[in-house]
């Protein structure tokens, strides 16, 4: 926490905590820092649990509740941004129930805006298997996109591939195309025109997706909308300056590799040791 003086009144600004299973949540962090320049950020990469998509639901829910209990006690954040569709669609309600005094901003598939924007009525949701099978996701479709044909595409491999891509590793076009091809549907003269990127890792590869897509579509990235929601929930303190010593990144494994450390530096994040 950092004290800042404004009009002779000392105000304590608590940090914003952003969590993802890996480094995909940096897409959300990037937008949130623009909108909340006066706040310090703590980025939590739960790489010890990555990828979330393959976890059993009960085990992952328990992991997230225990992890947030430690994080909230240690860092006393103003707000927690769960920058992971898989985590929030599974544990968002449980987190709010267990920590009623904490504000959680979640990441959910951008099905509502996709349904509002589509012209063809054919929308695909590119996600992890965990997000695809969630009742939360089905409820979003029922509530906001019942007039559309929504195809849920649960990729087993794309989150790992995106992590590798972000770190500068080579990924073959064939491998990427195999993951995104099911998103593209042609039906009675209509074509898919929107693909929802329902994993925060995926926007890092959006340019690759655009290049390989069989026809142009709108790749819907929710990062900016998540950041705007967080900004609405956090009081804007006029005259406050970004605190020294922030922003930091914490990897739950405690062992980010050299390439990951360089990536964090590129985002202006210092690596900090995980708390016990």
What CA–CA distance (Å, rounded) separates 74 from 195? 38
Strand 190-191 with 186-187, pairing: antiparallel
Strand 104-105 with 270-272, pairing: unpaired
Residue ranges with strand state E in the chain: 2-6, 9-13, 16-20, 41-45, 79-82, 104-105, 122-127, 149-154, 186-187, 190-191, 194-197, 218-220, 248-251, 270-272
Contact criterion met (CB below 8 Å) for 42 and 36: no
List 80, 84, 148, 183, catalytic entry: 84
Q: Is 183 a catalytic residue?
A: no
Q: Is 80 a catalytic residue?
A: no
List 80, 148, 183, 199, catalytic entry: 199
Residues 6 or more apart whose Cβ sits within 8 Å of residue 241: 4, 38
Coil, helix or strand for 237?
Answer: coil
What CA–CA distance (Å, rounded) separates 219 from 183? 11
What CA–CA distance (Å, rounded) separates 60 from 66? 10
> Rounded to 5 degrees, what are φ and ψ at 81?
-105, 115
Structure tokens at 215: 């026809």
What CA–CA distance (Å, rounded) separates 29 from 58? 27
Q: Which residues pair with 12 in a beta bridge?
A: 3
What CA–CA distance (Å, rounded) separates 229 from 170? 35
- Active-site positions? 84, 199
């Amino acid at each position: 926490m950092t004290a800042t003086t404004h009009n002779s009144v000392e105000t304590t600004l608590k940090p914003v905590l952003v969590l993802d299973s890996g480094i995909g949540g940096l897409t959300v962090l990037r937008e949130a820092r623009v909108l909340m320049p006066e706040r310090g950020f703590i980025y939590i990469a739960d790489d010890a649990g990555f990828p979330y998509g393959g976890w059993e639901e009960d085990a992952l829910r328990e992991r997230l509740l225990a992890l947030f209990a430690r994080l909230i006690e240690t860092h006393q954040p103003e707000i927690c941004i769960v920058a992971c569709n898989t985590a929030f669609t599974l544990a968002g309600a449980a987190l709010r129930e267990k920590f009623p005094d904490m504000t959680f901003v979640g990441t959910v598939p951008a099905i509502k805006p996709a349904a509002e924007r589509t012209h063809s009525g054919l929308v695909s949701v590119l996600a992890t298997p965990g997000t695809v099978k969630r009742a939360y996701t089905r409820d979003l479709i029922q509530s906001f996109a019942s007039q559309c044909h929504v195809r849920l595409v649960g990729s087993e491999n794309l989150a790992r591939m995106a992590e590798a891509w972000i770190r500068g590793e080579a990924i073959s076009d064939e491998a990427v195309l195999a993951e995104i091809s099911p998103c593209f549907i042609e039906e009675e003269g209509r074509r898919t025109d929107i693909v929802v990127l329902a994993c925060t890792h995926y926007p890092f590869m959006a340019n690759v997706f655009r290049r390989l897509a069989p026809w142009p579509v709108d790749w819907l990235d929710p990062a900016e909308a998540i950041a705007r929601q967080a900004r609405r929930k956090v009081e804007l303190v006029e005259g406050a300056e970004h605190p020294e010593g922030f922003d930091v990144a914490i990897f739950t494994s405690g062992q980010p590799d050299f390439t990951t450390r360089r990536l964090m530096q590129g985002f202006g994040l210092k690596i900090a040791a995980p708390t016990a």
